[in-house]
Amino acid sequence: MDEIVSSIGRLNHIAIAVPDLKKSASFWEIALGAKTSNPMPLQEHGVTVVFIESPNSKVELLEPLGKNSPIKKFLEKNPNGGMHHICYEVINLKNASEKLELAGARILGDGKPKIGAHGNPVLFLHPADFAGTLIELEEIRK
Ligand code: CO
């Protein structure tokens, strides 16, 4: 355990699940003066995404896409939307997952990285291990 050191980098994004992407994106624009991207359907992730850039990080608004969307259940429980996950950057996902396993943290799915919304490998960590917060780790390729 002594060898466990921090392996997280900057906060890459906060993802918020919303029932109506256009409505939320336009309110972010009108009320917060935010610059929002066009909606991007990500078929293989079962979501449509709007990116909202801010000087030090970004917010991703997620709307379900297709019948088996991974955020469908979340929106059933939170019909008005809500924070779905936060994403930290890591330099090396393999090192990070070894540390996580040593610490007893659970990696979701088969434990193997998948290619995420930005084309980089990602892992998701069990929310029960992190105060109810789903955490995504994204390996940043420079
Ligand atoms: Co994400």
What is the pairing mode between strands 82-90 and 58-64? Answer: unpaired
pLDDT at site 3: 52
pTM for this prediction: 0.89
Residue recorded with tokens 């659970």: 106
CA 133 to chain centre: 11
- Separation of 19 CA from ligand 1 center, angstroms? 17
- Residue ranges near ligand 1 (ion) with Cβ within 5 Å: 15, 87, 136
Identity of the residue numbered 9? G
Q: What is the pLDDT of residues 93-117, one digit of tens each?
A: 999 999 998 999 999 999 899 888 8
CA distance 91 to 85: 19
Q: What is the pLDDT of residues 38-75, one digit of tens each?
A: 999 999 889 999 999 999 999 999 999 999 999 999 99
136 is an active site residue: yes
Three-state SS at 115:
strand
Domain 11-139 has CATH 3.20.20.70: no
- Residue among 53, 89, 98, 136 flagged as catalytic: 136
Enter the DSSP assignment of 20.
-
Segments making up each domain of the chain, as ranges = 11-139
- Burial environment of residue 21 by CB neighbours within 10 A (0 to 12, 13 to 18, 19 or more): buried
pLDDT at site 1: 47
Number of C-beta neighbours around residue 80 at 10 A: 9
